[in-house]
Amino acid sequence: AERVLSGMRPTGNLHLGHYHGVLKNWVHLQSEYPCFFFVADWHALTTHYETPDVIEQSVWDMVIDWLATGVDPNQATLFIQSKVPEHAELFLLLSMGTPLGWLERVPTYKDQIEKLKEKDLQTYGFLGYPLLQAADILIYRAQFVPVGEDQVPHVEMTREVARRFNYLYGREPGFEEKALEAVKKLGSKRAKMYAELRVAFQERGDDEALEQAKALLQEAQSLSMADRERLFGFLEGARKIILPEPQALLTTASRMPGIDGQKMSKSYGNTISIRENPEDVIKKIRTMPTDPARVRRTDVGDPARCPVWQLHTVYSNEETKQWVDKGCKSAGIGCLECKQPVIDSILAEQQPMFERAQKYLDDPSLLRSIIADGCDKARKVAQETMREVREAMGLAYD
């Protein structure tokens, strides 16, 4: 079955960026695929290792936020990363063959160190966290990973990690020598072609190359039936995918702006929380900066330079957007007027979320049991993958 895997770090309140960037996708995907959604508490420690006390409360608040937005524990498996320690084992095993350069070149690495200047992130854990993420994904053999735009390079790296793992360990033992022997009998020109096709297939996952290599074998009259079968077997053996390559899934708001126009992020202090007090929502939007060139009501404005416009692109329909665009460019509407539909949309969006959250606030034991069940289910899948991984890496001895 095609699985979905995604996680979030419990480092504080979730905000509308998390909702529009990721959670909406979770809610949509949960009825289409088996979904595994996890609280990335170890990932939280990569940046909060000096203040681990924020984590526990954030874990439960975050799970309430998920449920509030419509994540359904009867459809999706919700769990906590640290309660499935197999993630750490896969992380360790993957680390053996992962080139340092892959981690150093991840674009978020230097950006984050710069962005979170007040923290010392020159640590082994912080450098390694995209690889831990790769383990999180690969251990569930997930096909799809709904994330925000900043995470796409991590999913790309996960694909490389998987490809390398399959290449190194996804082969039948001893096949290579046998295959090489058989290839020698192909005659040098064919052998060379065959070898090239095999590399194309194995390293680039080029299926056309696989078919061509098979056709070449069919034609190789000089080969005995046994040799031919061995080579076919080798091709199929090379095909063994232990850890499939995942794909990132983005929403249309994969980089949701905050109330200052930058990407919404706790570290920029420009967030609106998922369950933000409605009065604070109103206050925050009303005091949001607008096009700096529009000082007076009578000045014409440019939506392209206005953070409020960016929120309209997330919240408003075509009609409202046209009303804003025309009104702003002709000074026909004021900035407060322009902000009102955004305020209305956010408050309307929040209403059912407050209602859903209440059930869990009233009875926290519900949360605990949802998570306990989820951890059990996740562990079963993770343990199954680890059995195969250990075997492939030659660790299945007693």
> Residue type for 111, please?
D
Give ∠ CA 177-179-182 in degrees, rounded to 5. Answer: 110
Give ∠ CA 107-111-113 in degrees, rounded to 5. Answer: 120
Binding residue for ligand ATP, selected from 83, 164, 228, 263, defined by CB under 6 A = 263
Q: Is 329 annotated as a binding residue?
A: no
Q: Is 267 annotated as a binding residue?
A: yes
Instruction: Tell me which H or E stretch contains 80.
Output: strand 77-80
CB nearer to ligand ATP: pick between 81 and 202? 81
> Residue type for 77, please?
T
Min CB(43)–ligand ATP separation in Å: 7
Q: Does 150 bind ligand ATP (CB under 6 A)?
A: yes
Q: Does 147 bind ligand ATP (CB under 6 A)?
A: yes
Cα distance between residue 43 and residue 55, in whole Å: 10
Query: HSE on the CB side for 89, CA within 13 Å?
Result: 17
Q: Does 256 bind ligand ATP (CB under 6 A)?
A: yes
Q: Does 143 bind ligand ATP (CB under 6 A)?
A: no
> Any idea what DSSP says for residue 20?
I
CB atoms within 10 A of CB 238: 21
Min CB(355)–ligand ATP separation in Å: 24
Cα distance between residue 42 and residue 49, in whole Å: 9
Binding residue for ligand ATP, selected from 178, 239, 255, 356, defined by CB under 6 A = 255
Min CB(46)–ligand ATP separation in Å: 10
Binding residue for ligand ATP, selected from 267, 313, 320, 340, defined by CB under 6 A = 267
CA distances from 264 to 41, 151, 205, 267, 344 (A): 21, 14, 37, 9, 19
Q: Which stretch binds ligand ATP (CB under 6 A): 10-18, 183-191, 294-302, 337-345?
A: 10-18
Here's the x/- map for ligand ATP, 53-72, by CB under 6 A: it reads as --------------------
Q: Is 261 annotated as a binding residue?
A: no
- State the number of binding residues for ligand ATP (CB under 6 A): 19
CB nearer to ligand ATP: pick between 69 and 166? 69
Q: Does 264 bind ligand ATP (CB under 6 A)?
A: yes
Q: Does 246 bind ligand ATP (CB under 6 A)?
A: no
Cβ atoms of residues 379 and 36 within 8 Å: no
Number of DSSP helices (H) and strands (E) in the chain, helices first: 18, 5
Of 179, 323, 168, 162, whose CA–CA distance to 244 is shortest? 162
CB nearer to ligand ATP: pick between 308 and 392? 308
Binding site for ligand ATP (CB under 6 A): 8-9, 11, 17-18, 21-22, 147-148, 150-151, 254-256, 263-267
